[in-house]
Amino acid sequence: MMNRVVLIGRLTKEPELYYTKQGVAYARVCVAVNRGFRNSLGEQQVDFINCLVWRKSAENVTEYCTKGSLVGITGRIHTSNYEGDQGKRIYRTEVVIESITFLERRREGASKKDGTWGN
């Protein structure tokens, strides 16, 4: 069986870094990926894909990427579920990132805070 995902898109918000109780770093990101077509009004259609990245890659994403950063991702689909606060079953589908490539370099002299990126 094969479970493989390849995405190129832009981060929709700042990456959020967390640590497990065992001290393992992880980050959640959302990637906006353009679909291959436009709707009847000529507007670009976009999918928003939730992703999870672990360990050093998680730390690197939060250090070097910001909202709007262009990234290339390879990974796999992962589904999970848990009981929410109200006792309702919550289902989650996300991409577990195995490899992430930063497809833009930060402009000379730019800091993570100002979000200036370019080729």
pLDDT in tens, 36-85: 888 888 888 899 999 999 999 999 999 999 999 999 999 999 999 999 88
Mean residue pLDDT of the chain comes to 87
Q: What is the pLDDT of residue 115?
A: 47
Measured distance CA(33)–CA(41) in Å, rounded: 19
Rounded Cα–Cα distance for residues 79 and 21 (Å): 22
- pLDDT per residue as tens digits for the range 71-89: 999 999 999 999 988 889 9
- Compute the CA torsion angle 93, 6, 69, 102 (nearest 10 deg): 130
> What is the Rg, in whole angstroms, of the alpha carbon atoms belonging to the chain?
16
CA–CA distance, 115 with 96 (Å, rounded to integer): 25
- Phi and psi of 15, rounded to 5°? -65, 145
Q: What spatial distance separates the first Cα and last Cα of the chain, rounded to whole Å?
A: 38
Boundaries of every domain in the chain: 5-107
Does the pLDDT at position 109 exceed 70?
Answer: no
Can you identify the CATH homologous superfamily of domain 5-107?
Answer: Nucleic acid-binding proteins (2.40.50.140)
Rounded to two decimals, the pTM is 0.78
